[in-house]
């Protein structure tokens, strides 16, 4: 498994109303093929595709489409009908916006050292294009960001903040050049482009980042704590099992955060693969002395093929007062797989499949791993290379938007924090994956993934608005949005 491997991981919550404007340039996707199943969109100082704004009138709907063969978040607008009009339609989906489930926290990726290094290897204008692509209203509008505390494998070397033996008062604690050069400046620029970013160290990390204008929303008690039990594990990991994490939270971490005035920082347990659920959650949260400090349960995707997504619903039913957040995923992490596959559509589909099945089972958001890597899938000091939605080609001063980027954009762009998942019923068995929401702007938003090699005709029926008569293309992901009455 390849993932953060850092001692602790953090998320930041902050609001900023400033939006940077862009200089004039070509905004269509410049396609480039590297011999895989699809293409990337190339972005340079004067060329980078944007996502069209979703301006809607009552009675209209927008559909944004990405396909293996051509579209990338392409917007089209049609009228909502008062009755179904597709003959021999395959499926009717009924959207019930009065039946709601979990509230959404958001979607995003991690500000690792590697991501910062790669972004800063580009010229200033291209750096701006990359950050705009993720965080501005012209991009896919990420609202969550993950910050590794100190080094992880996606650093150029291992380091920490206080290597002085016996310094339990942390008098020698200090952020490093990696924070001050590769993380904080990139996060600050992202905040200045965003209309709504949420982000996730213990109290000194929280306080030091606050001094740099970054207010942290939450933290996890340990990244992948079970890695520390793997014999010969080659990089940063510290072992907890569920009982030792419970005791650490109730005896040390929780009381310290409260005493330092950080009781509102949201603490998450686990931050590891869902194969440990629901046992891990029950052990920690059935202890009231530990549970009082906990807000949520963080999960990773790396062993999902071994256990179905309904374990998340089982965990929710046992612990309904605690949110579940997916905090790490990346493609290309398993042995014998190629780290970077430029233009690979299947990796985008694997992302969307995981996002939808997570959301269908009470997960409140989904956070990708590195927001940008180089052509090799690094830098990574233990050569644990993986893929990323954005790959930086510093030699040519460009970056490549992978299909994974667009798949994630179908959620992050349209399902803002505070949206509620709503009920969807199908009139027959089918191979489409679908999830629906009502947003703060009173829009119904539906995301549909078709991983099959044939198009499917559908009705989307909203009792308040009418029928959407549509066709979901083969090998596509679509987002439908309309104003609810």
Verify whether residue 171 is a known catalytic residue. no
Distances (CA, A) of 198 to 180, 213, 219, 462: 20, 14, 12, 31
Radius of gyration of the chain from its Cα atoms, rounded to whole angstroms:
22
Give the pLDDT confidence of 23-77 residue by residue, as tens digits.
345 789 999 999 999 999 999 999 999 999 999 999 999 999 999 999 999 999 9
Distances (CA, A) of 482 to 80, 410, 421, 462: 9, 15, 15, 10
Please, is 17 exposed, middle or buried when counting C-beta atoms within 10 Å of its C-beta (0-12, 13-18, 19+)? exposed
Q: Identify the helix (H) or strand (E) that includes residue 283.
A: helix 279-285
Please provide the DSSP assignment of 290-303 as one string: HHTTEEEEEEESTT
Q: Which two tokens stand for residue 69?
A: 């063969």
pLDDT computed for residue 209 by the predictor: 94
Q: Which of 12-26, 61-75, 204-218, 402-416 has the lowest mean pLDDT?
A: 12-26
Give the pLDDT confidence of 117-162 residue by residue, as tens digits.
999 999 999 999 999 999 999 999 999 999 999 999 999 999 999 9
Domain residue extents for the chain: 9-17+106-162+173-412, 60-102+419-483
Distances (CA, A) of 442 to 24, 56, 58, 416, 482: 32, 11, 11, 11, 9
> What is the side-by-side order of every strand in the sheet holding 456-462?
74-79, 60-67, 476-483, 443-450, 433-438, 420-426, 91-103, 456-462, 466-472
Please provide the DSSP assignment of 150-214 as one string: S--TTSSS---S---TT-TT-TT----HIIIIIIHHHHHHHHHH-S-B-----HHHHHHHHHTT-
- β-strand partners of 363: 324
The residues, any chain, with a CB within 8 Å of residue 259's CB and separated by 6 or more, are: none
* Rounded Cα gap, residues 191 and 185, in angstroms: 10
> What is the side-by-side order of every strand in the sheet holding 30-32?
30-32, 40-43, 398-401, 390-393, 373-374
* Catalytic residue of the set 132, 178, 224, 349: 224
- Dmax over CA atoms of the chain, in Å, equals 75
* Rounded Cα gap, residues 230 and 462, in angstroms: 50
Domain 9-17+106-162+173-412: CATH superfamily is Glycosidases (3.20.20.80)
* Rounded Cα gap, residues 351 and 156, in angstroms: 27
* Catalytic residue of the set 132, 328, 349, 416: 328
pLDDT computed for residue 199 by the predictor: 63
pLDDT computed for residue 89 by the predictor: 72
pLDDT computed for residue 231 by the predictor: 86
Q: Average pLDDT, stretch 288-301?
A: 98
* Rounded Cα gap, residues 257 and 253, in angstroms: 6
* Rounded Cα gap, residues 479 and 52, in angstroms: 13
Q: Average pLDDT, stretch 292-306?
A: 97
CA atoms within 13 A on the CB side of 288: 0
Phi, psi of 261 (to 5 degrees): 85, 20
Verify whether residue 208 is a known catalytic residue. no
Q: What angle do CA 300, 303, 307 make, to 5 degrees?
A: 105
Q: Average pLDDT, stretch 411-435?
A: 97
Query: What percentage of the chain exceeds 70 in pLDDT?
Result: 94
Q: Are 269 and 220 spatial neighbours (Cβ–Cβ below 8 Å)? A: yes
Give the pLDDT confidence of 304-359 residue by residue, as tens digits.
999 999 999 999 999 999 999 999 999 999 989 999 999 999 999 999 999 999 99
Start-to-end C-alpha separation, the chain: 47
Percentages (nearest 5) of helix, strand, coil residues in the chain: 25, 30, 45
pTM of the model: 0.94
* Rounded Cα gap, residues 179 and 117, in angstroms: 11
CA atoms within 13 A on the CB side of 224: 25
Mean pLDDT of the chain: 92
Residue with tokens 């590297």: 34
Residue with tokens 């970054």: 214
The verdict on domain 60-102+419-483 having CATH code 3.90.1170.50 is no
């Amino acid at each position: 498994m390849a993932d953060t491997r850092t001692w602790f991981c953090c998320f930041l919550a902050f609001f900023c109303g400033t939006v940077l404007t862009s200089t004039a340039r070509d905004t269509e996707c410049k396609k480039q093929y590297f011999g895989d199943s699809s293409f990337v969109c190339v972005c340079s100082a004067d060329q980078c595709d944007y996502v069209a704004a979703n301006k809607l009138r009552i009675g209209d709907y927008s559909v944004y489409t990405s396909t293996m063969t051509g579209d990338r978040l392409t917007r089209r607008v049609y009228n909502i009908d008062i009755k179904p009009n597709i003959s021999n339609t395959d499926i009717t989906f009924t959207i019930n916006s009065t039946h709601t489930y979990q509230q959404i926290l958001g979607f995003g990726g991690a500000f690792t050292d590697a991501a910062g290094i790669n972004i800063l290897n580009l010229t200033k204008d291209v750096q701006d294009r990359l950050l705009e692509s993720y965080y501005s209203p012209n991009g896919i509008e990420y609202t969550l960001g993950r910050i590794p505390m100190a080094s992880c494998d996606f650093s150029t070397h291992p380091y920490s903040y206080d290597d002085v033996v016996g310094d339990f008062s942390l008098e020698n604690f200090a952020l490093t050049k990696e924070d001050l050069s590769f993380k904080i400046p990139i996060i600050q620029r992202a905040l200045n482009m965003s209309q709504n970013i949420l982000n996730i160290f213990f109290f000194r990390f929280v306080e030091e980042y606050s001094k740099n204008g970054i207010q942290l929303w939450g933290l996890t008690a340990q990244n992948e704590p079970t890695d520390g039990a793997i014999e010969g594990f080659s990089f940063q990991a510290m072992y907890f099992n569920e009982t030792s994490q419970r005791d650490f939270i109730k005896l040390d971490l929780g009381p310290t955060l409260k005493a330092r005035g950080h009781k509102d920082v949201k603490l998450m347990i686990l931050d590891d693969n869902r194969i440990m659920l629901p046992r891990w959650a029950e052990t920690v949260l059935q202890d009231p002395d530990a549970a009082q400090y906990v807000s949520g349960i963080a999960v990773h995707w790396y062993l999902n093929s071994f256990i179905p997504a309904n374990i998340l619903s089982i965990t929710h039913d046992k612990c309904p007062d605690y949110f579940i957040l997916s905090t790490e995923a990346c493609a290309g992490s398993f042995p014998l797989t190629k780290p970077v596959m430029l233009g690979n559509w299947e990796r985008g589909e694997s992302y969307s499949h995981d996002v939808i099945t997570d959301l269908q089972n009470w997960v409140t958001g989904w956070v990708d791993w590195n927001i940008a890597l180089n052509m090799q899938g690094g830098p990574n000091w233990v050569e644990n290379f993986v893929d990323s939605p954005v790959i930086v080609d510093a030699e040519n001063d460009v970056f490549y938007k992978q299909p994974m980027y667009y798949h994630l954009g179908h959620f992050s762009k349209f399902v803002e924090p505070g949206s509620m998942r709503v009920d969807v019923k199908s009139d027959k068995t089918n191979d489409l994956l679908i999830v629906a929401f009502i947003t703060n702007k009173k829009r119904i938003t539906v995301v549909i993934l078709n991983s099959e090699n044939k198009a499917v005709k559908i009705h989307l029926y909203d009792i308040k608005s009418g029928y959407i008569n549509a066709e979901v293309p083969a090998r596509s992901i679509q987002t439908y949005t309309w104003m609810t009455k």
